Amino acid sequence: MRNLKLTLLLSCISLIVVAQTKYRVSLQELQAYEGQYEYINHGTLQIAASPIDTLLYAIISQSRYPLRPFNKDVFKNNSGDPVKFLRDSTNHIVGYTANNQTFNLISKAVVFPKEMWYPKLSAIGKPYHYTYQKPTKLKDGLLIGNINQSGLDASLLSDMMNKIVTGKYPGVHSILIVKDGKLVFEEYFYEYTVDSLHELRSASKSFVSALTGLALQKGYIKSKDEAVLSYFPDYTPLNDSPLKHKITIEHLLTNQSGLDYDISNPKSAGDETKMNYSDDWVKYTFDLPMIDTPGGRGMYASGNPIALGRIIEKASSQSLGSFANESLFKPLGIQNYKWRFKPDKSSAEDFCQLHLRPRDMAKFGLMYLNGGKWLKRQVVPASWVKASFTQHSTVQNVSYGYLWWLKYLEKDGVRYNGMAAQGNGGQKIFLFPDQQLVVVTTGGNYNSQSSADELILNYILSSFSKKVKSN
Protein backbone atom coordinates (compact mmCIF):
# COMPACT_ATOMS: atom_id res chain seq x y z
CA MET A 1 0.00 0.00 0.00
CA ARG A 2 2.03 2.79 -1.39
CA ASN A 3 1.71 6.56 -0.99
CA LEU A 4 -1.22 6.65 -3.39
CA LYS A 5 -1.94 10.31 -2.72
CA LEU A 6 0.46 11.12 -5.55
CA THR A 7 -0.90 8.51 -7.94
CA LEU A 8 -3.27 10.90 -9.72
CA LEU A 9 -0.39 13.32 -10.33
CA LEU A 10 2.44 10.95 -11.16
CA SER A 11 1.34 10.06 -14.68
CA CYS A 12 1.32 13.73 -15.65
CA ILE A 13 4.59 14.36 -13.85
CA SER A 14 6.14 11.38 -15.60
CA LEU A 15 5.13 12.72 -19.00
CA ILE A 16 6.56 16.13 -18.15
CA VAL A 17 9.83 14.57 -17.03
CA VAL A 18 10.05 12.54 -20.24
CA ALA A 19 9.36 15.63 -22.33
CA GLN A 20 12.10 17.53 -20.54
CA THR A 21 14.62 14.71 -20.77
CA LYS A 22 17.21 15.25 -23.48
CA TYR A 23 20.11 13.38 -21.96
CA ARG A 24 20.59 9.96 -23.51
CA VAL A 25 22.44 6.99 -22.03
CA SER A 26 23.15 3.72 -23.84
CA LEU A 27 22.26 0.36 -22.37
CA GLN A 28 25.93 -0.45 -21.89
CA GLU A 29 26.42 2.80 -19.96
CA LEU A 30 23.34 2.11 -17.85
CA GLN A 31 24.67 -1.31 -16.89
CA ALA A 32 27.51 0.39 -15.02
CA TYR A 33 24.97 1.49 -12.40
CA GLU A 34 23.57 -2.00 -11.82
CA GLY A 35 23.93 -3.62 -8.42
CA GLN A 36 22.57 -3.93 -4.92
CA TYR A 37 22.54 -0.75 -2.84
CA GLU A 38 21.68 0.41 0.64
CA TYR A 39 18.22 1.89 1.07
CA ILE A 40 16.26 3.73 3.72
CA ASN A 41 15.19 2.03 6.95
CA HIS A 42 18.25 -0.28 6.82
CA GLY A 43 16.85 -1.92 3.72
CA THR A 44 18.30 -2.63 0.30
CA LEU A 45 17.28 -2.09 -3.29
CA GLN A 46 18.55 -3.19 -6.66
CA ILE A 47 19.32 -1.04 -9.68
CA ALA A 48 18.84 -2.72 -13.05
CA ALA A 49 19.14 -1.57 -16.66
CA SER A 50 16.24 -2.53 -18.92
CA PRO A 51 17.00 -3.64 -22.50
CA ILE A 52 13.35 -2.98 -23.42
CA ASP A 53 13.13 0.78 -22.89
CA THR A 54 16.79 1.63 -22.06
CA LEU A 55 15.96 2.94 -18.60
CA LEU A 56 17.26 2.29 -15.13
CA TYR A 57 14.86 0.78 -12.60
CA ALA A 58 15.02 0.84 -8.84
CA ILE A 59 13.67 -2.51 -7.64
CA ILE A 60 12.26 -2.73 -4.11
CA SER A 61 10.83 -6.17 -3.38
CA GLN A 62 8.61 -6.83 -6.44
CA SER A 63 8.12 -3.16 -7.24
CA ARG A 64 10.03 -1.39 -10.01
CA TYR A 65 10.31 2.37 -10.29
CA PRO A 66 11.85 4.00 -13.40
CA LEU A 67 14.81 6.36 -13.17
CA ARG A 68 15.08 8.58 -16.23
CA PRO A 69 18.46 10.02 -17.33
CA PHE A 70 18.73 13.75 -16.70
CA ASN A 71 22.45 14.57 -16.71
CA LYS A 72 25.81 12.94 -16.15
CA ASP A 73 25.22 10.35 -13.36
CA VAL A 74 21.92 12.08 -12.50
CA PHE A 75 18.50 10.47 -12.95
CA LYS A 76 15.01 11.52 -11.93
CA ASN A 77 12.23 9.37 -10.51
CA ASN A 78 8.55 9.70 -11.41
CA SER A 79 8.14 12.45 -8.82
CA GLY A 80 10.91 14.47 -10.44
CA ASP A 81 13.31 13.99 -7.54
CA PRO A 82 17.00 13.69 -8.54
CA VAL A 83 19.00 10.53 -7.87
CA LYS A 84 22.73 11.16 -8.27
CA PHE A 85 25.21 8.31 -8.54
CA LEU A 86 28.63 8.67 -6.97
CA ARG A 87 32.01 7.58 -8.36
CA ASP A 88 35.33 6.93 -6.68
CA SER A 89 38.78 8.08 -7.83
CA THR A 90 38.91 5.21 -10.32
CA ASN A 91 35.58 6.31 -11.88
CA HIS A 92 33.63 3.32 -10.55
CA ILE A 93 30.10 3.70 -9.16
CA VAL A 94 30.16 3.43 -5.35
CA GLY A 95 26.73 4.68 -4.29
CA TYR A 96 24.01 7.27 -4.83
CA THR A 97 22.37 10.22 -3.12
CA ALA A 98 18.63 10.88 -2.93
CA ASN A 99 16.65 13.26 -0.74
CA ASN A 100 19.87 14.48 0.89
CA GLN A 101 20.85 10.96 1.96
CA THR A 102 23.78 8.88 0.73
CA PHE A 103 23.54 5.14 0.14
CA ASN A 104 26.48 2.87 -0.66
CA LEU A 105 26.83 0.19 -3.32
CA ILE A 106 26.79 -3.19 -1.57
CA SER A 107 27.51 -5.55 -4.45
CA LYS A 108 27.82 -5.61 -8.22
CA ALA A 109 27.29 -9.37 -8.26
CA VAL A 110 23.58 -9.23 -9.05
CA VAL A 111 22.07 -11.23 -11.90
CA PHE A 112 19.00 -9.89 -13.71
CA PRO A 113 17.47 -12.69 -15.82
CA LYS A 114 15.96 -12.02 -19.23
CA GLU A 115 12.57 -13.18 -17.99
CA MET A 116 12.12 -10.03 -15.93
CA TRP A 117 12.16 -7.81 -19.02
CA TYR A 118 10.23 -9.79 -21.65
CA PRO A 119 6.55 -10.84 -21.31
CA LYS A 120 7.33 -14.16 -23.03
CA LEU A 121 10.86 -15.34 -23.78
CA SER A 122 9.56 -17.28 -26.78
CA ALA A 123 8.76 -13.96 -28.47
CA ILE A 124 12.29 -12.55 -28.39
CA GLY A 125 13.48 -11.88 -31.94
CA LYS A 126 10.63 -13.69 -33.65
CA PRO A 127 6.92 -13.14 -34.44
CA TYR A 128 4.59 -14.16 -31.62
CA HIS A 129 1.28 -15.92 -32.27
CA TYR A 130 -0.73 -16.96 -29.25
CA THR A 131 -2.16 -20.47 -28.98
CA TYR A 132 -4.72 -21.08 -26.24
CA GLN A 133 -3.88 -23.64 -23.59
CA LYS A 134 -6.43 -24.91 -21.11
CA PRO A 135 -5.40 -24.18 -17.49
CA THR A 136 -3.73 -27.02 -15.63
CA LYS A 137 -5.79 -28.87 -13.05
CA LEU A 138 -4.07 -28.67 -9.67
CA LYS A 139 -5.06 -29.93 -6.25
CA ASP A 140 -6.21 -26.49 -5.10
CA GLY A 141 -9.97 -26.85 -5.42
CA LEU A 142 -10.37 -24.87 -8.63
CA LEU A 143 -12.44 -26.51 -11.34
CA ILE A 144 -11.02 -26.23 -14.85
CA GLY A 145 -12.94 -25.36 -18.00
CA ASN A 146 -12.25 -24.66 -21.66
CA ILE A 147 -12.51 -21.18 -23.14
CA ASN A 148 -14.34 -22.60 -26.16
CA GLN A 149 -17.25 -23.72 -23.98
CA SER A 150 -17.31 -20.60 -21.80
CA GLY A 151 -19.10 -18.08 -23.99
CA LEU A 152 -16.00 -15.89 -24.07
CA ASP A 153 -14.54 -14.80 -27.40
CA ALA A 154 -11.31 -16.76 -27.90
CA SER A 155 -10.24 -14.50 -30.77
CA LEU A 156 -10.43 -11.43 -28.53
CA LEU A 157 -8.31 -13.14 -25.89
CA SER A 158 -5.81 -14.16 -28.56
CA ASP A 159 -5.61 -10.54 -29.70
CA MET A 160 -5.10 -9.45 -26.09
CA MET A 161 -2.26 -11.91 -25.61
CA ASN A 162 -0.51 -10.86 -28.80
CA LYS A 163 -0.67 -7.19 -27.78
CA ILE A 164 0.60 -7.85 -24.25
CA VAL A 165 3.52 -9.87 -25.50
CA THR A 166 4.45 -7.37 -28.22
CA GLY A 167 4.50 -4.51 -25.70
CA LYS A 168 1.24 -2.60 -26.14
CA TYR A 169 0.32 -3.33 -22.52
CA PRO A 170 3.56 -3.46 -20.50
CA GLY A 171 3.75 -4.47 -16.88
CA VAL A 172 0.97 -7.09 -16.90
CA HIS A 173 2.05 -9.98 -14.69
CA SER A 174 -0.94 -12.32 -14.89
CA ILE A 175 -4.52 -12.60 -16.10
CA LEU A 176 -6.94 -15.28 -14.91
CA ILE A 177 -10.60 -15.71 -15.83
CA VAL A 178 -13.14 -17.80 -13.95
CA LYS A 179 -16.43 -18.28 -15.81
CA ASP A 180 -19.40 -20.16 -14.36
CA GLY A 181 -17.23 -21.44 -11.52
CA LYS A 182 -14.44 -22.78 -13.73
CA LEU A 183 -10.97 -21.43 -14.41
CA VAL A 184 -10.93 -21.12 -18.21
CA PHE A 185 -8.01 -18.77 -18.83
CA GLU A 186 -4.66 -18.48 -17.01
CA GLU A 187 -1.60 -16.68 -18.33
CA TYR A 188 1.57 -15.42 -16.64
CA PHE A 189 4.18 -13.03 -17.97
CA TYR A 190 7.77 -12.03 -17.32
CA GLU A 191 9.26 -14.02 -14.43
CA TYR A 192 5.89 -14.81 -12.85
CA THR A 193 4.53 -18.36 -12.75
CA VAL A 194 1.60 -20.22 -11.29
CA ASP A 195 3.52 -20.59 -8.02
CA SER A 196 4.63 -16.96 -7.68
CA LEU A 197 3.38 -15.03 -4.68
CA HIS A 198 2.32 -11.59 -5.83
CA GLU A 199 1.90 -8.49 -3.71
CA LEU A 200 -1.71 -7.33 -3.52
CA ARG A 201 -1.15 -3.76 -2.36
CA SER A 202 -4.54 -2.23 -1.49
CA ALA A 203 -6.44 -5.30 -2.68
CA SER A 204 -5.38 -6.58 0.76
CA LYS A 205 -8.06 -4.29 2.21
CA SER A 206 -10.86 -6.58 0.99
CA PHE A 207 -9.25 -9.48 2.85
CA VAL A 208 -9.23 -7.36 6.02
CA SER A 209 -12.94 -6.82 5.40
CA ALA A 210 -13.50 -10.58 5.25
CA LEU A 211 -11.53 -11.07 8.48
CA THR A 212 -13.60 -8.37 10.19
CA GLY A 213 -16.76 -10.26 9.28
CA LEU A 214 -15.27 -13.49 10.59
CA ALA A 215 -14.16 -11.83 13.84
CA LEU A 216 -17.73 -10.61 14.31
CA GLN A 217 -19.12 -14.06 13.56
CA LYS A 218 -16.81 -15.65 16.12
CA GLY A 219 -17.73 -13.09 18.75
CA TYR A 220 -14.24 -11.62 19.06
CA ILE A 221 -15.69 -8.29 17.99
CA LYS A 222 -19.07 -7.72 19.59
CA SER A 223 -20.53 -5.26 17.09
CA LYS A 224 -19.61 -3.23 14.05
CA ASP A 225 -20.94 -0.25 16.03
CA GLU A 226 -18.23 -0.52 18.68
CA ALA A 227 -16.07 2.59 19.16
CA VAL A 228 -12.64 1.86 17.75
CA LEU A 229 -10.77 3.84 20.40
CA SER A 230 -12.17 1.48 23.04
CA TYR A 231 -9.65 -1.05 21.70
CA PHE A 232 -6.75 1.34 22.33
CA PRO A 233 -7.07 2.48 25.96
CA ASP A 234 -3.36 3.30 26.07
CA TYR A 235 -3.77 6.00 23.40
CA THR A 236 -4.28 9.63 24.28
CA PRO A 237 -4.86 10.84 20.72
CA LEU A 238 -3.70 14.22 19.57
CA ASN A 239 -6.34 16.62 18.27
CA ASP A 240 -8.79 14.88 20.58
CA SER A 241 -12.49 15.63 20.30
CA PRO A 242 -15.80 13.95 21.20
CA LEU A 243 -16.29 13.12 17.50
CA LYS A 244 -13.11 11.05 17.47
CA HIS A 245 -14.56 8.77 20.14
CA LYS A 246 -17.63 8.16 17.96
CA ILE A 247 -15.65 6.49 15.16
CA THR A 248 -16.88 2.90 14.88
CA ILE A 249 -15.63 -0.24 13.20
CA GLU A 250 -18.18 0.27 10.44
CA HIS A 251 -16.81 3.76 9.77
CA LEU A 252 -13.39 2.22 9.12
CA LEU A 253 -14.92 -0.35 6.77
CA THR A 254 -16.64 2.37 4.73
CA ASN A 255 -13.80 4.93 4.85
CA GLN A 256 -16.03 7.37 6.73
CA SER A 257 -14.00 7.96 9.87
CA GLY A 258 -14.12 11.73 9.53
CA LEU A 259 -10.37 11.94 10.12
CA ASP A 260 -8.38 14.27 7.88
CA TYR A 261 -6.90 11.44 5.82
CA ASP A 262 -7.68 11.31 2.12
CA ILE A 263 -5.03 10.14 -0.31
CA SER A 264 -6.78 11.86 -3.24
CA ASN A 265 -6.49 15.24 -1.50
CA PRO A 266 -2.93 16.66 -1.48
CA LYS A 267 -3.96 19.09 1.26
CA SER A 268 -5.01 16.30 3.61
CA ALA A 269 -3.15 16.18 6.93
CA GLY A 270 -2.92 12.39 6.62
CA ASP A 271 0.01 11.30 4.48
CA GLU A 272 0.64 7.66 3.68
CA THR A 273 4.41 8.00 3.41
CA LYS A 274 4.59 9.75 6.78
CA MET A 275 2.38 7.04 8.25
CA ASN A 276 4.57 4.31 6.77
CA TYR A 277 7.67 5.72 8.45
CA SER A 278 6.00 6.36 11.80
CA ASP A 279 6.48 4.13 14.86
CA ASP A 280 2.78 3.26 15.10
CA TRP A 281 0.51 3.53 12.07
CA VAL A 282 -2.67 3.23 14.11
CA LYS A 283 -1.65 6.00 16.49
CA TYR A 284 -0.61 8.14 13.51
CA THR A 285 -4.09 7.69 12.05
CA PHE A 286 -6.01 8.50 15.22
CA ASP A 287 -3.76 11.47 16.01
CA LEU A 288 -5.04 13.24 12.89
CA PRO A 289 -7.61 16.03 13.28
CA MET A 290 -11.29 15.44 12.55
CA ILE A 291 -12.70 17.30 9.54
CA ASP A 292 -16.08 15.59 9.28
CA THR A 293 -18.62 13.70 11.35
CA PRO A 294 -18.03 9.93 11.43
CA GLY A 295 -20.32 8.39 8.84
CA GLY A 296 -20.08 11.48 6.63
CA ARG A 297 -17.85 11.98 3.61
CA GLY A 298 -16.03 8.97 2.20
CA MET A 299 -12.27 9.51 2.20
CA TYR A 300 -9.83 6.81 1.07
CA ALA A 301 -7.33 6.20 3.86
CA SER A 302 -5.04 3.20 4.29
CA GLY A 303 -4.93 3.82 8.04
CA ASN A 304 -8.52 2.55 8.32
CA PRO A 305 -7.93 -1.12 7.39
CA ILE A 306 -4.64 -1.03 9.30
CA ALA A 307 -6.56 -0.06 12.44
CA LEU A 308 -9.06 -2.85 11.73
CA GLY A 309 -6.22 -5.34 11.47
CA ARG A 310 -4.92 -4.33 14.90
CA ILE A 311 -8.42 -4.51 16.36
CA ILE A 312 -8.78 -8.08 15.05
CA GLU A 313 -5.42 -8.96 16.61
CA LYS A 314 -6.37 -7.45 19.97
CA ALA A 315 -9.84 -9.04 19.97
CA SER A 316 -8.68 -12.53 18.90
CA SER A 317 -5.34 -12.54 20.76
CA GLN A 318 -3.73 -13.74 17.52
CA SER A 319 -1.55 -12.16 14.87
CA LEU A 320 -3.55 -11.12 11.83
CA GLY A 321 -1.73 -13.73 9.73
CA SER A 322 -2.58 -16.51 12.19
CA PHE A 323 -6.22 -15.47 12.37
CA ALA A 324 -6.39 -15.29 8.56
CA ASN A 325 -4.80 -18.72 8.23
CA GLU A 326 -7.19 -20.34 10.70
CA SER A 327 -10.41 -18.62 9.66
CA LEU A 328 -10.01 -17.91 5.95
CA PHE A 329 -7.00 -19.47 4.25
CA LYS A 330 -7.34 -23.03 5.53
CA PRO A 331 -11.04 -23.25 4.56
CA LEU A 332 -10.09 -21.98 1.09
CA GLY A 333 -7.19 -24.42 0.79
CA ILE A 334 -4.66 -21.57 0.64
CA GLN A 335 -1.32 -22.82 1.92
CA ASN A 336 1.19 -20.53 0.26
CA TYR A 337 0.99 -16.90 1.30
CA LYS A 338 2.94 -14.12 2.99
CA TRP A 339 1.45 -11.54 5.32
CA ARG A 340 3.75 -9.61 7.61
CA PHE A 341 1.34 -7.37 9.45
CA LYS A 342 3.44 -5.10 11.62
CA PRO A 343 2.14 -1.55 11.27
CA ASP A 344 5.25 0.44 12.05
CA LYS A 345 8.21 1.80 10.09
CA SER A 346 9.70 -1.69 9.71
CA SER A 347 6.91 -2.28 7.15
CA ALA A 348 7.44 1.03 5.35
CA GLU A 349 8.21 -0.62 2.00
CA ASP A 350 5.99 -3.70 2.29
CA PHE A 351 2.95 -1.75 3.50
CA CYS A 352 1.60 -4.63 5.68
CA GLN A 353 0.22 -6.12 2.48
CA LEU A 354 -0.83 -9.65 1.68
CA HIS A 355 1.07 -11.72 -0.91
CA LEU A 356 -0.86 -14.49 -2.70
CA ARG A 357 -0.78 -16.66 -5.79
CA PRO A 358 -3.20 -15.32 -8.45
CA ARG A 359 -5.07 -18.65 -8.38
CA ASP A 360 -5.76 -18.10 -4.69
CA MET A 361 -6.90 -14.56 -5.43
CA ALA A 362 -9.35 -16.13 -7.88
CA LYS A 363 -10.59 -18.54 -5.22
CA PHE A 364 -11.24 -15.67 -2.82
CA GLY A 365 -13.16 -13.82 -5.54
CA LEU A 366 -15.18 -16.89 -6.50
CA MET A 367 -16.02 -17.54 -2.86
CA TYR A 368 -17.41 -14.00 -2.57
CA LEU A 369 -19.26 -14.34 -5.88
CA ASN A 370 -20.94 -17.45 -4.40
CA GLY A 371 -22.16 -15.60 -1.32
CA GLY A 372 -19.25 -16.64 0.91
CA LYS A 373 -19.32 -20.35 0.00
CA TRP A 374 -16.34 -22.42 -1.12
CA LEU A 375 -16.82 -26.08 -2.11
CA LYS A 376 -20.23 -26.12 -0.37
CA ARG A 377 -18.75 -24.76 2.86
CA GLN A 378 -19.88 -21.37 4.17
CA VAL A 379 -16.55 -19.66 4.80
CA VAL A 380 -17.64 -16.03 5.17
CA PRO A 381 -21.20 -15.35 6.39
CA ALA A 382 -23.58 -14.69 3.51
CA SER A 383 -24.96 -11.71 5.39
CA TRP A 384 -21.46 -10.21 5.57
CA VAL A 385 -20.92 -10.67 1.84
CA LYS A 386 -24.25 -8.97 1.17
CA ALA A 387 -23.37 -6.09 3.48
CA SER A 388 -19.94 -5.78 1.90
CA PHE A 389 -21.51 -5.43 -1.54
CA THR A 390 -24.08 -2.86 -0.40
CA GLN A 391 -23.25 0.79 -0.96
CA HIS A 392 -22.50 2.55 2.32
CA SER A 393 -20.46 5.48 1.05
CA THR A 394 -19.00 7.14 -2.03
CA VAL A 395 -15.20 7.23 -2.27
CA GLN A 396 -13.44 9.06 -5.10
CA ASN A 397 -16.82 9.27 -6.87
CA VAL A 398 -17.20 5.49 -6.79
CA SER A 399 -19.77 3.54 -4.76
CA TYR A 400 -18.14 1.80 -1.83
CA GLY A 401 -19.13 -1.12 0.40
CA TYR A 402 -17.10 -2.67 3.21
CA LEU A 403 -13.57 -2.19 1.82
CA TRP A 404 -14.84 -3.27 -1.61
CA TRP A 405 -15.24 -0.98 -4.62
CA LEU A 406 -18.72 -1.24 -6.17
CA LYS A 407 -17.89 -0.09 -9.67
CA TYR A 408 -19.10 -0.64 -13.18
CA LEU A 409 -17.32 -0.85 -16.49
CA GLU A 410 -19.07 0.13 -19.71
CA LYS A 411 -18.42 -1.21 -23.19
CA ASP A 412 -20.37 -0.56 -26.40
CA GLY A 413 -23.20 1.05 -24.46
CA VAL A 414 -23.52 -1.92 -22.12
CA ARG A 415 -22.90 -1.40 -18.40
CA TYR A 416 -21.34 -4.23 -16.41
CA ASN A 417 -21.90 -3.85 -12.69
CA GLY A 418 -19.18 -5.34 -10.54
CA MET A 419 -17.31 -5.42 -7.28
CA ALA A 420 -13.56 -5.05 -7.07
CA ALA A 421 -10.69 -5.53 -4.69
CA GLN A 422 -7.95 -3.45 -6.25
CA GLY A 423 -4.46 -2.22 -5.53
CA ASN A 424 -1.75 0.01 -6.92
CA GLY A 425 0.07 -1.47 -9.92
CA GLY A 426 -2.85 -3.38 -11.43
CA GLN A 427 -3.78 -5.85 -8.68
CA LYS A 428 -7.47 -6.66 -9.15
CA ILE A 429 -10.06 -9.23 -8.18
CA PHE A 430 -13.06 -8.13 -10.24
CA LEU A 431 -16.45 -9.84 -9.85
CA PHE A 432 -19.30 -9.55 -12.36
CA PRO A 433 -22.30 -11.40 -10.89
CA ASP A 434 -24.60 -11.08 -13.92
CA GLN A 435 -21.96 -12.75 -16.09
CA GLN A 436 -20.86 -15.21 -13.37
CA LEU A 437 -17.37 -13.95 -14.02
CA VAL A 438 -14.27 -13.42 -11.90
CA VAL A 439 -11.24 -11.73 -13.43
CA VAL A 440 -7.89 -11.54 -11.65
CA THR A 441 -5.04 -9.36 -12.82
CA THR A 442 -1.65 -8.63 -11.28
CA GLY A 443 0.82 -6.09 -12.53
CA GLY A 444 3.73 -3.77 -11.98
CA ASN A 445 2.45 -0.40 -13.13
CA TYR A 446 3.05 1.22 -9.76
CA ASN A 447 2.07 4.85 -9.30
CA SER A 448 0.95 5.00 -12.93
CA GLN A 449 -2.09 4.08 -14.94
CA SER A 450 -2.77 0.35 -14.98
CA SER A 451 -4.15 -1.25 -18.14
CA ALA A 452 -6.22 -3.79 -16.16
CA ASP A 453 -9.64 -2.18 -16.67
CA GLU A 454 -8.94 -1.57 -20.36
CA LEU A 455 -7.98 -5.21 -20.87
CA ILE A 456 -11.10 -6.40 -19.06
CA LEU A 457 -13.30 -4.07 -21.11
CA ASN A 458 -11.83 -4.60 -24.56
CA TYR A 459 -11.03 -8.29 -24.51
CA ILE A 460 -13.20 -9.98 -21.88
CA LEU A 461 -16.44 -8.05 -21.41
CA SER A 462 -16.57 -7.34 -25.15
CA SER A 463 -17.62 -10.97 -25.61
CA PHE A 464 -20.84 -10.17 -23.80
CA SER A 465 -21.27 -6.77 -25.45
CA LYS A 466 -21.42 -8.47 -28.84
CA LYS A 467 -24.16 -10.83 -27.64
CA VAL A 468 -26.23 -8.00 -26.15
CA LYS A 469 -26.02 -5.98 -29.35
CA SER A 470 -26.99 -8.96 -31.51
CA ASN A 471 -30.14 -9.72 -29.48
Helix, strand or coil, per DSSP, at residue 389: coil
Same domain for 148 and 257? no
Same domain for 163 and 214? no
- Count: domains in the chain: 3
Point out the residues of the chain with pLDDT beneath 70: 1-21, 466-471
Give the residue from 452, 457, 467, 456 showing the smallest Cα distance to 410.
457
Same domain for 231 and 344? yes
Angle CA 415–418–420, to nearest 5: 140
Half-sphere exposure of 378 (CA within 13 A, CB side): 9
Same domain for 225 and 238? yes
Same domain for 213 and 344? yes
Per-residue pLDDT tens over the stretch 383-429: 999 999 999 999 999 999 999 999 999 988 899 999 999 999 999 99
Instruction: Tell me what pLDDT residue 468 has.
Output: 52
414 strand-pairing partners: 411
Instruction: Tell me what pLDDT residue 18 has.
Output: 44
Same domain for 164 and 52? no
Instruction: Tell me what pLDDT residue 14 has.
Output: 45
Element (H, E) at 90: none
Boundary residue ending a domain (112, 132, 167): 112
Same domain for 258 and 279? yes
pTM for this predicted structure? 0.93
Domain with residue 196: its CATH number is: 3.40.710.10
Angle CA 389–356–318, to nearest 5: 80
Boundary residue ending a domain (112, 144, 162): 112
Same domain for 341 and 369? no
Per-residue pLDDT tens over the stretch 317-346: 999 999 999 999 999 999 999 999 999 999
Which residue range(s) make up the domain with 49?
4-112
Same domain for 241 and 370? no
Q: Residue ranges of the alpha helices (H) in 166-260?
A: 204-217, 249-253
